[in-house]
Amino acid sequence: MPGQISFDLKRKTVMITGAGRGIGKAIAVACANAGADLALGSRHVEECEQVAHACRLLGVRARSWTLDVAQLPSIRGFVDGALTEFGRIDVLVNNAGLTIVKPAEELSEAEFDTVCNINFKAPYFASAMVAKSMFERGVKGSIINISSQVGHVGGPLRSAYAGAKGGLNSLTRSLAAEWARHGIRVTGVSPTFTRTEMMERAAQNPEFRKNFEKVPLGRPAEPEEIAAAVIYLASDAGRFVTGHTLLVDGGFTAV
């Protein structure tokens, strides 16, 4: 109703890729705290089940699946399994991602394909599969793509990753325009450097580590700070936002 704003996700089912650790784990716990039931997918199935268990302790339904987003049959199995378990998907969070920190001239074709498949191809097809289920069930849902600040400004040693995330930002705008008539919102969240295992591995490269000094707020983001933006976009509080990718970057792209 007009005048009422809610960040509540009760009676919604949220599907999250890459939910076993890092940002995906934080998003799952935040959604559980907001009352959502959860379909969680990850290559790291034991960690993913631990996240599902933690969410169940918060009083919601949660189930984990083994998921390799680089394989379309695995995505299809995840979507079908979630629909069988929960009956509908209200929110999809395309969180799974991978970066390889290397000079562009040293990146192999196989590495390029891996980065682009995980960061662009997987969200494309996961979104298409979930959106089709929303069409069929009359769900006015939300699809949220976890992008990156380098998808907006570029980043040395991450050219393939930056290109894939830039494509993801464009995909977000295009799908938002295409699916608005169905009542489906498509948005994105672009974090800065965030305290995760993936960032810690990348930070072993001293040239990459120098980038941390460029964040005006003076520190990396915490995973929970990225999750907070997802809750906004997934909930009715963000019901008039679509086609936009929200930068949660400590001011990195402002200077």
State phi, psi for 165 to the nearest 5 degrees.
Answer: -70, -35
Catalytically active residues, by annotation: 161
Query: pLDDT of 101-116, one tens digit each?
Result: 899 999 999 999 999 9
Among 52, 22, 26, CA closest to 37 = 52
- Of residues 246 and 205, more confidence is placed in 246
* Mean per-residue pLDDT, 81-101: 97
CATH class of 13-247: alpha beta
- Where is average pLDDT lowest: 77-86, 114-123, 177-186, 193-202? 193-202
145-166 mean pLDDT: 95
Sorted by sequence, the CB contacts under 8 Å of residue 71 that are 6+ apart come out as none
- Do 196 and 22 contact (CB within 8 A), yes or no? yes
Q: What is the mean pLDDT of residues 178-183?
A: 98
Average pLDDT, whole number, for the chain?
Answer: 95
- Say yes or no to pLDDT of 220 above 60: yes
Q: Find the angle CA(77)-CA(78)-CA(84) to the nearest 5 degrees.
A: 85
> What is residue 3's predicted lDDT score, i.e. its pLDDT?
67
